[in-house]
Amino acid sequence: MSRRSKGVSAEEEALFRSALKDAKPIRKRERPPIDPPKRIVVHVPHPHYPSHPPYNEQPAPPIGGHAEGHLRRGRIEPDARIDLHGLTQDGAYRALLRFLVQCQGQGMRFVLVITGKGGILRSALPLWLGQPDLRALVAGLREAHVRHGGGGAFYVLLRAPRRLGEPLR
């Protein structure tokens, strides 16, 4: 197809060519090659974070009261979130435990744990959080609002940090 068939007349084309006769193409700038950023991965084993425990078949208690209504309607934004997608059970349990300890130490109350819909992590999380070892950390658990992941995520209500000498509840 010629340009004339697209609505450009011979006169317009001649005018365009005369306007650009002195134009020179812009040189491409020489850019140094960009090296991809180097990832530094430091793996520090945490011997004090156990692998996932054998379960007692008692899940974490549900979040109740006034907070439950706000969570059900998606009105409260989580203070922090962790995504456990792609982790093994042992890796997910250790990452979760580390995350909960860190969040509780920073005074956070509501956190979001993303497990994905279906799968072993989604069914294991309530049992993990119901373990006696985690009673000092977790006050309650509830499925997240659709806005925060729905069936693939959970809200976790953290307890206030214990003081030295205070008994477990």
Q: What percent of the chain has pLDDT over 90?
A: 11
Q: Residue 126 pLDDT more than 80?
A: yes
State residue 26's pLDDT score: 75
Could you read off the pLDDT of 79-108 as tens digits, one per residue? 899 999 888 888 999 899 999 989 988 888
Structural domains of the chain ordered from first start: 65-158 (3.30.1370.110)
State residue 99's pLDDT score: 92
d(CA 152, CA 115): 6
* Angle separating helix axes 119-129 and 89-105, nearest 10 degrees: 50
pTM (predicted TM-score): 0.60
What is the average pLDDT across 133-141?
82
Residue 20 pLDDT class (50, 70, 90 cuts):
confident
